Structure 1
Amino acid sequence: MTALEKYQRLEAAALWREGPQAQRRDVIISIGEATITIADLKDQPLTHWSIAALTRANPGALPALYHPDGDPEETLELAADEAQMIDALEQLRSAVARRRPHRGRLRMSIIGGFAAGILALGLFWLPGALKGHALSVLPQVKRDEIGARLFAEVQGLTGAPCVTPGGTRALSLLSARVTPEGRRAPELHVVRSGLRESLHLPGNILILGRAVVEGYEDPEIPAGFVVAEMQRAHARDPMDRLLDEAGIGAVLRLLTTGSLAPETLSDHARSLLSAEPVDIGPAALLEGFQAAGIQSRPYAFARDITGETVLPLIEGDPYPSGAPEPVMRDADWLRLQAICGG
């Protein structure tokens, strides 16, 4: 894309606000080969925005106000005297828009802002590198959107998640209880059928089969399943797994349009539900249990009542005398066990 090549490494001063409660900061922005880099005045990168997901909040008005697609609370403001940068961003946005697929057609484009940038780098024939680039520039808001769409496909196979006022609250308490400080707590759901244990979707959505909450008497066991699934997601980004299964065509579509075809998501939903949980080593599991503040032994015996195949989790329990604090109150545990109607 000649527009991209023309404006690569163009820089301008701007005001950046990370969120509605944050102060506006003086920054320097530059155009790269697929992203806009936002750096502080010491040239330390603060964040990267995808050119394909760039939206202007006030077309034709000055100062120009931009935000990532779907996330209007993070803003970038360019004054009228940065006309060259404003013109460059508008040219790039127009170029990407011309290459978006027409509504109703199931086709993928191999040209556009991101694909051209990757071609310029000589990575078009390297699927692994192309996928890695897609993962690095994909905004969190897009990950959340894709995760929600994928969850809808999963529900087509498992049925809607179980919901009761008390059970839903208990799930939220469980999620917060096992999430280490500083990390984003997963959005927990329980489904009635189609899932034996657990799985993790992009957007930090974690799903449990009803047997995980109904089949045990100790709340530390479902807590252990949650911790194990969080460690799987930490070891391998669920978005990476999706793109790996979908192939290079889906990666190019994501880079060009910021979305994935419905067929890609439905195929991946079936794949996730039919696959066995990915095995992770005891060291990673014990690290997760330590950070979550729960015992590993209850989970270990739930996986193997003889203890033979899970001996490292039993012997390496970070809290052999009991967790520092209960996973949840008895009343909340009973509500959680009844979330699918008993």
Structure 2
Amino acid sequence: MTALKKFDRIEAAGLWRERPDAQRVEVIVSVGDATLVITNMRDMALAHWSLPAVERANPGQVPAIFHPDGVPEETLELGEDAAEMIEAIETLRSAIARRRPRPGRLRLMATVSLFAAIGALGVFWLPEASLQHALKVVPQVKRAEIGGGLLQNIRRVAGAPCSAPQSVEALARLGARLPAPHGGGRLVVVRSGIEVSTHLPGGTVILGRALVEDYEEPDVVAGYIIAERLRAQITDPLEPLLREAGLVATFRLLLTGALSEGTLQDYAETLLRRAPAPLPDSALLAGFDAWAVRATPYALAVDITGDSTAALIENDPYRSAAPAPVITDGDWLRLQVICSG
């Protein structure tokens, strides 16, 4: 399509809202291959809207508000400084509208066009719309069940979680000191299979045994827990699972409330191989401040020279004043032998 090629290199800043009760997020909007691509400031894709399914909620008004057809609660707002992008979207919508079948054309042309539209929706809109709907409606209790299923599959690689009797209560107290944003959030220490940490849907954080055995103070493992809590806040832990599992698994979850054992097993293996996503220093520092934990021990654990984590050390919110202890000295000693049982 000539109109699409004309605009395939323009970008604009906008405000994206996933649902009415969510905060608006600053995003970058670009025109992709028959799609409108919405990414955050870290170049992470948040949504792909099929151009044939883009609707404008306020024609002729600025800021312009767009949404996917049938999903008015998800919106993209473009202001005056995005006039070129607004023009591009309207031009493409008009071009697509002109290409739609009209009464009087040959029946074969109408049938081919219909199947093309259905194919475009199936390829570009339906998977993303189904995924976003699942992320909105799957409740916390179901997420916890999915996390539990993943943990059972992780056990096949990492073995049973460490559970020395004298250490389990200490680990629970550490979890209570560093809860997930929605409350709770189980901590699990494993003997092998993972070097540092990862997290599961439902709030569970998995820690490698080295984090409790190889360091002299609990602030290090606390830092890794905070990092996983932040990653779970930035990206819904269910999202990468469903993206990898695909449309059929997403439909299965929506219809039955469950994922297949094969889906959980495949993703558990992916999760153990995947390196933790990097976090901006600003997010980490805000997390250390919010959970009242020193940033410096974590920074030195990540880079013993402190060169790559200098910003965390220099801007440690507790550089000059110590917060409340993460756990007591006695609990820390008990936690360090959690894998000895």
- TM tier, shorter chain? 0.5 to 0.7
CA distance in 2, matches of 1:271, 1:322: 40
Structure 2 residue aligned with 1:159: 159
CA distance in 2, matches of 1:316, 1:128: 39
1:123–1:129 CA contact under 8 A, matched in 2: no
1:191–1:208 CA contact under 8 A, matched in 2: yes
What amino acid maps onto 2:168 in structure 1?
Answer: T
Residues 120-142 of structure 1: CA distance to partner in whole angstroms, max 9, x if unpaired?
xx678522221010110112221
1:198–1:206 CA contact under 8 A, matched in 2: yes
Using structure 1 for the length normalisation, give the TM-score.
Answer: 0.62
Structure 2 residue aligned with 1:306: 305
Structure 2 residue aligned with 1:240: 239
CA distance in 2, matches of 1:187, 1:330: 21
Residues 42-75 of structure 1: CA distance to partner in whole angstroms, max 9, x if unpaired?
xxxxxxxxxxxxxxxxxxxxxxxxxxxxxxxxxx
CA distance in 1, matches of 2:170, 2:244: 34
Matched length: 221
CA distance in 2, matches of 1:140, 1:331: 33
CA drift of 1:165 comes to 2.5
Secondary structure of 2:205's aligned partner: strand
Residues 178-230 of structure 1: CA distance to partner in whole angstroms, max 9, x if unpaired?
237x7413100100001100110011111100001101001100111111111
1:123–1:130 CA contact under 8 A, matched in 2: no
What amino acid maps onto 1:281 in structure 2?
Answer: P
CA distance in 2, matches of 1:203, 1:254: 15
1:144–1:204 CA contact under 8 A, matched in 2: yes
Larger radius of gyration: 2
CA distance in 1, matches of 2:141, 2:123: 26
Kindly report which structure 2 residues correspond to 1:2-81, keeping only aligned pairs within 5 A, or say none: none
Structure 2 residue aligned with 1:34: none
CA distance in 2, matches of 1:327, 1:254: 38
CA distance in 2, matches of 1:328, 1:233: 23
CA distance in 2, matches of 1:195, 1:221: 16
CA distance in 1, matches of 2:322, 2:190: 28
CA distance in 1, matches of 2:170, 2:322: 18
1:133 equivalent to 2:133? Answer: yes
CA distance in 2, matches of 1:125, 1:318: 44
Residues 141-161 of structure 1: CA distance to partner in whole angstroms, max 9, x if unpaired?
211111111110011110000
Structure 1 residue aligned with 2:315: 316
Secondary structure of 2:276's aligned partner: coil
CA distance in 2, matches of 1:322, 1:192: 35
Structure 2 residue aligned with 1:295: 294
1:187–1:206 CA contact under 8 A, matched in 2: yes
Residues 88-131 of structure 1: CA distance to partner in whole angstroms, max 9, x if unpaired?
xxxxxxxxxxxxxxxxxxxxxxxxxxxxxxx9xx6785222210
What amino acid maps onto 2:328 in structure 1?
Answer: R
Assess, with a 3 A threshold, how the Cα gap between structure 1 residues 285 and 337 changes in structure 2: closer, same or farther. same
Using structure 2 for the length normalisation, give the TM-score.
Answer: 0.62
CA distance in 2, matches of 1:241, 1:215: 31
What amino acid maps onto 2:325 in structure 1?
Answer: P
Secondary structure of 1:208's aligned partner: strand
- Large movers: runs of 4+ above 6 Å: none
2:195–2:208 CA contact under 8 A, matched in 1: yes
What is the percent sequence identity of the aligned residues?
49
CA distance in 1, matches of 2:123, 2:251: 9
Kindly report which structure 2 residues correspond to 1:161-240, keeping only aligned pairs within 5 A, or say none: 161-179=161-179, 183-240=182-239
What amino acid maps onto 1:169 in structure 2?
Answer: E
1:143 equivalent to 2:134? Answer: no
CA distance in 2, matches of 1:173, 1:323: 20
CA distance in 2, matches of 1:190, 1:247: 30
2:170–2:331 CA contact under 8 A, matched in 1: yes
> Which range is displaced more, 320-329 or 246-255?
320-329
Secondary structure of 2:187's aligned partner: strand
**CA RMSD for the aligned pairs?**
1.7
Secondary structure of 1:240's aligned partner: helix
CA distance in 1, matches of 2:184, 2:312: 24
CA drift of 1:269 comes to 0.4
CA drift of 1:172 comes to 1.1
Structure 1 residue aligned with 2:85: none
1:256 equivalent to 2:255? Answer: yes
1:283 equivalent to 2:282? Answer: yes
